[in-house]
Copies of this chain bind each other. A is one copy, B any other.
Amino acid sequence: MPLYLIGLGLARPSDITLHGLQTLQKCQRIYLEAYTSILLSTSSASSEFDPEESARTLQAELNLTTPIEIADRDLVESGSDTILADTEKPDVNVAFLVVGDPFGATTHTDLVLRAKARNVKVGVVHNASIMNAVGCTGLQLYNFGQTVSMVFFDEENGWKPSSWYDKILENDQLGLHTLVLLDIKVREQNWENLARGRKIYEKPRFMLGNTCARQMLEIEEDRKTGVCGSDKLAVVVAKVGSDEERISVGTLEELAALTDEQLGGPLQSLILVGKKVHVLELQFLREFVQDKERYDSTVEKLYGKQEWETM
């Protein structure tokens, strides 16, 4: 009878919870939300990320008898009737799988409200989201301000959305950290294919931390408040929660200059460190740094001299 929103966590098929798997096993239809985030480990080559392959891998790894269908933006935003079909019947359970937590970076408010309007019960199985897993940097979650999103600039058409800058400014004035979520383009059609209704998708694109840092520096050049200055301390997290997790710490200028290779693969996020940072947070970040002398000098310039605790 119910619609179950089940969080998959961040990295591997086995990041699902036991409760999530048990719930999934009683579902007759399973959808995988495949346009706001992806479970990278389920695709053989991330540059050619294929949601269908991801769904098959997930089904195999979790030993599910029911095949997993792909829910693209179209299906979720205008085809919720398809997803909710028959959910009024007592013996029909439908699962909607979401990478991370079902109410993480994206909430599927609309789908849930539509289910409730049909008197369909909605069950939720929570999981880790990037919104809480960034705690792996040692930065305290309660010192974060509002989260912002960074989309790819389109230099050709001069499209450089920068509303995130004002939010970072607000967080900065309170001394808070800012989590910057980076653009993901999966299953996007170009204008021609969209206009002709052809379901041919562009190659997926995942923004990395170096591009994000460069775009921040670019807008800083216009705005000149200093909050995204080249000397500001930031952290790039790559593949959080996976065995290939990588954490890079440096000034925005240093991070902008790192290669894709150095940063690690997608998915990535960036955190701009706030002024109210605690010495233990800085000491934790220092663990990820190779050139500790340079780090200490950056930190001293921004936050004053620190006394590292001997453990």
**Chain A interface (Cβ < 8 Å from any Cβ of B):** 7, 9-10, 12-19, 21-22, 101-105, 107, 109-110, 112-114, 116-117, 124-129, 131-136, 138, 140-149, 170, 174, 176, 181, 240-241, 280-281, 283-284, 287, 309, 311
Contact = CB atoms under 8 A, between A and B. Distances in A.
B19 A14 contact: yes
A21 B16 CA distance: 11
Contact of A109 (B9, B105, B114, B284): B284
A280 B109 contact: yes
Contacts of A12: 19
B135 A141 contact: no
A18 B19 contact: no
Nearest to A7: B128
Most buried by B among A7, A17, A109: A17
Nearest to A12: B19
A174 B146 CA distance: 9
28 contacts: A9-B126, A10-B126, A12-B19, A15-B17, A16-B18, A17-B127, A18-B18, A18-B21, A101-B128, A101-B132, A101-B133, A103-B133, A103-B134, A103-B135, A104-B135, A107-B140, A109-B280, A109-B281, A113-B280, A113-B283, A117-B311, A126-B132, A126-B241, A127-B127, A129-B135, A142-B181, A145-B146, A146-B174
A131 B103 CA distance: 11
Nearest to A281: B109
Given A126-B133, A132-B104, A287 B241 contact: no
Contacts of A148: 142
A64 B284 CA distance: 32
B142 A105 contact: yes
